[in-house]
Structure 1
Amino acid sequence: MEHDKRPWGQYWVLEDSKSYKVKRVEVHPNHRLSYQYHHKRSEIWTIVQGVGQVTINGEVKEYGVGEVVKIPQGAKHRIANPKEDENCVFIEVQVGTYFGEDDIVRIQDDYSRE
């Protein structure tokens, strides 16, 4: 199982096929992913632990355990963990034609990545 640590947390690839990819993603307290979009995939996030503060095309909403977030292909998005004492964990299902990390177009990033 592929595992990758990032400045905001970590993720594991649970399944990788030609038409979809499934990840388990952990966001550490008071951290957030880059504000980004993708050319070749959409994403569906299901929160399984904690709270996720999700921004899609500039609109911010909090999601809790069991709630689902749908992110259309090309939509600008990010998730933040506003909690100080608990990870935000979600299952990410990517659907599309390409799932490489080089399809991440970062608009804003707390960790100065391109």
Structure 2
Amino acid sequence: MNNLFFSVKNEIESKGYDIIGHDFNRPWGGFILIDELQSEKFINEFISKDLDKIDGRVSPKIIIVNPNSRLSWQYHYRRKEIWKVYKNTVGIVRSSDDNENDMSIHREGDLIQFNKEERHRLVGLSKPGIVSEIWIHTDKNNPSNEDDIIRLQDDYSRD
């Protein structure tokens, strides 16, 4: 899998993006953080050219989920999220409350939007799933970060 992470990282850099951080050691896979100054370019290339103009701060990210792995059942207090399946197929579970609904399957090109505090989970299927994501910060005085994850259930016993 490490080769895949670095291959995706190199692909993103070859498109002219500045990577400001990455973590390829998450138990479910990893992520790549893109410079926020390139948000508009990222949205146009990786999310949708037809997306309405977003006011405020936006943080772009690429998520790579390993096959047969899943992120925690979670939500966020200080951000909305928009995901687009970039490569392969992924599963997504979402709910307006703490109860998990059935997983839905999403293919390359599918666009998924989550409201602030909407519960969600990304699931890797038979192949690694790659998702482009933007965080839309909902509290301009206290922008979201990796600590803004409220985990309701986690396969890896993280808080």
Structure 1 unmatched runs, 5+? none
* 1:68-87 equivalent positions in 2, closer than 5 A: 68-83=111-126, 86-87=127-128
> How much has 1:92 moved relative to structure 2?
0.6
The C-alpha deviation readout for 1:41-83, integer Å capped at 9, x for no partner, is: 0000000111111011133211000001111100000010121
Give the structure 2 partner of residue 14 of structure 1: 34
Count residues with an aligned counterpart.
112
Q: Retained in 2: the 8 A contact 1:21–1:99?
A: no
Question: Runs (4+) of structure 1 moved beyond 6 Å?
Answer: none
The 3-state SS of whatever aligns with 2:93 is strand
Give the structure 1 partner of residue 145 of structure 2: 100
Counterpart CA distance in 1 for 2:60 and 2:73 is: 20
Counterpart CA distance in 2 for 1:99 and 1:9 is: 21
**Bigger Rg over Cα:** 2
Structure 2 unmatched runs, 5+? 1-18, 38-55
Give the structure 1 partner of residue 9 of structure 2: none
The 3-state SS of whatever aligns with 2:69 is coil
Q: Retained in 2: the 8 A contact 1:56–1:78?
A: yes
Structure with more relative contact order (C-alpha pairs < 8 Å, separation 6 or more): 1
Give the structure 2 partner of residue 112 of structure 1: 157
Q: 1:4 aligns with which of 3, 14, 23?
A: 23
Give the structure 1 partner of residue 130 of structure 2: 89
The 3-state SS of whatever aligns with 1:103 is coil
Give the structure 2 partner of residue 50 of structure 1: 88
Counterpart CA distance in 2 for 1:22 and 1:99 is: 12
Counterpart CA distance in 2 for 1:80 and 1:93 is: 18
In terms of fraction of residues, the more helix-rich structure is 2
> How much has 1:14 moved relative to structure 2?
1.2
Counterpart CA distance in 1 for 2:131 and 2:89 is: 9
Q: Which stretch shows the higher mean deviation, 93-102 or 41-50?
A: 93-102
**Code of the aligned partner of 2:149:** I
> How much has 1:15 moved relative to structure 2?
2.5
